[in-house]
Amino acid sequence: MSDQSRNRILERMREGLQATPHPGSDFSVLAEKQWPPEARVKMLRQRLESVNGQVHLCSREGWVAELQNLLSGKAVSNLLYAPGTEHGSELERSWPGDDAGLPSLLSTMEEDVDFRERVFDVDASLTGTIGGIAETGTLILWPTPREPRLMSLAPPVHVALLDAVNIHNTFWEAINQRQWADGMPTNALLISGPSKTADIEQHLSYGVHGPKELIVLIRE
Amino acid sequence: MTKADFRAGAARAVGDVQLRSNFRRAMDGLMEKRAAQFADGEELERLRTLGESIRSRSLARLPELLVQLENNCRENGIQVHWAETAEDGNRIVLDILKRRNAKTLVKGKSMVSEEMELNHFLEAQGIETLESDLGEYIIQLAQEMPSHIVMPVIHRNTAQIAELMERKIAGVSYTENPDELCRIARKVLREKFYKADAGISGVNFAVAETGTLCLVENEGNGRMSTTAPKTHIAVMGIEKVVEHLQDVPPLLSLLTRSATGQPITTYFNMISSPRRPGEQDGPQEVHLVLLDNGRSRILADPELRPTLRCIRCGACMNHCPVYTRVGGHAYQAVIPGPIGEILTPQLRGLDVRGDMPFGSTLCNACVEVCPVRIPIVDILLRLRAEANSPEQGGSVKGAGAKREGKEAMAWKGWQAMHASGAVYNGLSRLLAKTGNMMPGSVGPLKAWTATRTKPRFAARTLHQMTRKRGIPDE
Ligand code: SF4
């Protein structure tokens, strides 16, 4: 049935479209959006904060200490992370034992543990990002087998690491510079703040389905 | 069920004070937020030109792009299905679910599935479908239609939602705290996401070049529905395809800024394949259902084709002086407001919804804000003409359905009167004498005077007056 439908639909369209010209597109309005690197960091931060994201600047080495600082005051008893990634290894190396009052680390790769069960159960997660977008205050994530898709969605607190050098001016620039069209991952994500809704009389509520808190550590 | 009729729906809605204040507040807010996003008028116009060119190009190349999309999706492991009608689409979805033995479904927001009345169809087959967008969840509880394409429950205020949730969800007590209401919904829906056998979503843009399905949302329920269950079924109208990945950013920017005044939504979710080896989550099967349901017919007519450029931002309704006063339910259609007035009659036929193109003042506000510059007013006029055209005179389904013999005759008379100077002079003199004696409330004038005041005829015609003043008659 589907095959015949397909051919009939396509036939109708081809007949109806005979010799319709294809207009070209001028992307200069996007290409012109260029800011210096420091301005990009500032814009991204400002935009994310305006939608209730929490942004902290730190040094290339200092991010684990910053994270410990941030989490020690929170009711977060565990943190899901991806061992085997660069940031996962750095985290393991400098995370103190259980009696330090910090959340315990839970791995995404533990044998005999169903990831799906785990990710719906943890208090917080840490993921990397492949970059950011200044114009819109956005994180770009390409989830991997070690850092799966639900990690940035199911836990109530999501911590994301972003390297300042990877902040693009626009989404359009990121797609073109990094040649996304040559090979897309299973899932590519843009995240611009914690989950939210305004469906109840325009009142903004956070964490309706995804994280209530999005914490971004920008490594400069 | 009685025949859907905008005029009756609008009359009812105008009398509902609560409804009108709910809409007024919401629409004022949305208009302000959009305006703040487009403070730079030049940027807006350049973006609109770009957006229009992308959507026009996509439509001009639609058959090739759909085949390209199909090939790339298949290569990525996404199964593609074609549906000519809503019934075909529903069948296809049902077959997939049956094969997977799926009994419970979570749904992300999808206007196409509303168009197909998919929930209704599946429930009759014993399959539980749960809307997971908060607004859609609430209207599902209330068994209502969405009243806005972006904010489906905008017609209800907090107290009305609180009362509904208390009544419909076991163990919930009345609260007007919106955060608390969200928390209640989160709890109910979390459980469902975790357990559901399949997830259904719409598609905002499908990229032919890479075989990628893009979804725009703020809540995360769309991501949940497309990631947590084992099977994901995406349904989309065939017009949603774009050629290149780089065509997406400008459309996304126009969409979110026009719709809710956000520079971007919280989540932009790009799906290109089912779970790949080694991956620990994501559906094992992804299906894409391509729905025609009248769209290829719209495409064939160059004057009507721009209807399909729509990216469903809702700006035309937010700025419409009619919609903002009567709300979405008055239209009794899945898609209300200006875009609904042109789309619905074309999809369903002028014989079914020929009333809709008349629910407009033709003020052009919709055309001024539409991010892809759809000439809504021109299309409204075309549809009005087709609705009244002699049988088989038009290309839209159900053309001529509103044609009335008496009205056609009146216009024929009008034409004859204006074609001859002698007849015109004679008749206008006669009307100057007797016109005011014609009763407005009965006979042929009744329908016209129902919403208008009958004009008074002057005692002398313009010709008589000018001649009296000595202006020569040419
Ligand atoms: S017709 Fe234009 S303004 Fe209305 S929903 Fe579609 S794109 Fe938006």
Rg (CA), chain A: 21
CA distance B214 to B242: 11
> Which of B141, B193, B144 has its CA nearest to residue B169?
B141
pLDDT above 70 as % of chain A: 99
C-alpha torsion angle, residues B142, B148, B153, B157 (rounded to 10): -120
Domain span including residue B274: 55-293
pLDDT, residue A59, reads: 94
In this structure, are B273 and B173 located in the same domain?
Answer: yes
* Chain segment B274-283, per-residue pLDDT in tens: 999 999 999 9
Chain B residues touching A5 at Cβ < 8 A: 82-84, 88, 292
Whether A25 is in a domain gets the answer no
pTM, rounded to two decimals: 0.93
CA distance B86 to B293: 6
> Which of A163, A160, A152 has its CA nearest to residue A187?
A152
Whether A92 is in a domain gets the answer yes
Pocket test for ligand 1, best of B50, B311, B317, B334 (most atoms within 8 A of CB): B311
B281 shares contact with chain A (CB less than 8 Å): yes
Whether B473 is in a domain gets the answer no
Average pLDDT score over residue span A4-30: 92
Whether A20 is in a domain gets the answer no
Whether B276 is in a domain gets the answer yes
Whether A172 is in a domain gets the answer yes
In this structure, are B197 and B95 located in the same domain?
Answer: yes
In this structure, are B388 and B448 located in the same domain?
Answer: no
Cα B339 to middle of ligand 1, angstroms? 6
Residues 6 or more apart whose CB falls under 8 angstroms from that of A200 comprise: B134, B153, B158, B161, B178, B181, B182
Answer whether residue A53 shows pLDDT above 60.
yes
Atom number in ligand 1 closest to CA B369 = 3
Whether B46 is in a domain gets the answer no
B90 shares contact with chain A (CB less than 8 Å): no
> Which of A80, A70, A68 has its CA nearest to residue A105?
A80
Whether B50 is in a domain gets the answer no
* Chain segment B36-70, per-residue pLDDT in tens: 999 999 999 999 999 999 999 999 999 999 999 99
In this structure, are B91 and B118 located in the same domain?
Answer: yes
Concatenating the DSSP letter of every residue in A110-122 gives: -TTS-HHHHHTT-
Q: Which of B140, B265, B281 to mutate to test the interface with A (most CBs of A within 10 A)?
A: B281
Chain A residues touching B290 at Cβ < 8 A: 9
Last residue of a domain, one of B293, B321, B342: B293
CATH number where A161 lies: 3.40.50.10420
Contact A171, A190 (CB under 8 A): yes
Strands A104-107 and A138-141: what pairing? unpaired
What is the spatial order of strands in the sheet that A104-107 belongs to? A54-58, A213-219, A157-163, A124-127, A78-81, A104-107
Last residue of a domain, one of B249, B272, B293: B293
Please judge whether B292 and A208 are an interchain contact, meaning their C-beta atoms are less than 8 angstroms apart. no
Nearest-Cα distance to chain A for B341, in Å, is 23
Question: B residues 174-213 near A, CB within 8 Å?
Answer: 178-179, 181-182, 185-186, 189-190, 193-194, 209-212
pLDDT, residue B2, reads: 57
Cα A202 to middle of ligand 1, angstroms? 21
Average pLDDT score over residue span B9-27: 91
| Higher-scoring residue by pLDDT: B325, B449 | B325
Nearest to A202 among B26, B152, B190 (CB): B26
| Higher-scoring residue by pLDDT: A69, A20 | A69
Whether B333 is in a domain gets the answer yes
In this structure, are B312 and B277 located in the same domain?
Answer: no
Task: Indicate if ligand 1 lies below 6 Å from the C-beta of B313.
Answer: yes
Chain B residues touching A137 at Cβ < 8 A: 263-264
Number of domains in chain A: 1
CATH number where B70 lies: 3.40.50.10420
Answer whether residue A1 shows pLDDT above 60.
no
Answer whether residue B1 shows pLDDT above 50.
no
Strands A205-206 and A196-197: what pairing? antiparallel
pLDDT, residue B444, reads: 67
pLDDT, residue B208, reads: 98
Atom number in ligand 1 closest to CA B149 = 5
In this structure, are B245 and B329 located in the same domain?
Answer: no
> Which of A144, A81, A93 has its CA nearest to residue A118?
A81
What's the one-letter identity of residue A187?
N
pLDDT, residue A100, reads: 75
* Chain segment A186-216, per-residue pLDDT in tens: 999 999 999 999 999 989 999 999 999 999 9
pLDDT, residue B57, reads: 96
Nearest to B82 among A6, A16, A145 (CB): A6
Chain B residues touching A184 at Cβ < 8 A: 76, 210-212, 245, 270, 272
Whether B65 is in a domain gets the answer yes
Answer whether residue B453 shows pLDDT above 90.
no
Domain span including residue A204: 36-219
Question: B residues 104-143 near A, CB within 8 Å?
Answer: 132-135, 138
Answer whether residue A108 shows pLDDT above 70.
yes
A185 shares contact with chain B (CB less than 8 Å): yes
In this structure, are B224 and B248 located in the same domain?
Answer: yes
Number of domains in chain B: 3
Whether B48 is in a domain gets the answer no
User: What mean pLDDT value characterizes chain B?
Assistant: 92
pLDDT, residue A41, reads: 98
Q: Which of B155, B218, B304 to mutate to test the interface with A (most CBs of A within 10 A)?
A: B218
Whether B235 is in a domain gets the answer yes
| Higher-scoring residue by pLDDT: B411, A53 | A53
Answer whether residue A74 shows pLDDT above 70.
yes
Average pLDDT score over residue span B443-465: 81
DSSP state of A202: T
In this structure, are B73 and B199 located in the same domain?
Answer: yes
A111 shares contact with chain B (CB less than 8 Å): no
Atom number in ligand 1 closest to CA B309 = 7
Strands A54-58 and A213-219: what pairing? parallel
In this structure, are B232 and B341 located in the same domain?
Answer: no
In this structure, are B20 and B159 located in the same domain?
Answer: no
Chain B residues touching A120 at Cβ < 8 A: 190, 194
Average pLDDT score over residue span B361-368: 97
SS3 at position B207:
strand
In this structure, are B243 and B352 located in the same domain?
Answer: no
Question: Does the interface predicted TM-score (ipTM) exceed 0.90?
Answer: yes
Whether A21 is in a domain gets the answer no
Please judge whether A186 and B273 are an interchain contact, meaning their C-beta atoms are less than 8 angstroms apart. yes
pLDDT, residue B393, reads: 62
pLDDT band at residue B391 under the 50/70/90 scheme: low
In this structure, are B101 and B149 located in the same domain?
Answer: yes
A112 shares contact with chain B (CB less than 8 Å): no
Average pLDDT score over residue span B85-100: 97
Residue nearest to atom 6 of ligand 1 (CA): B310
Nearest to A9 among B193, B271, B296 (CB): B296
Last residue of a domain, one of B235, B267, B293: B293
> Which of B137, B399, B383, B119 has its CA nearest to residue A200?
B137
Average pLDDT score over residue span B21-48: 95
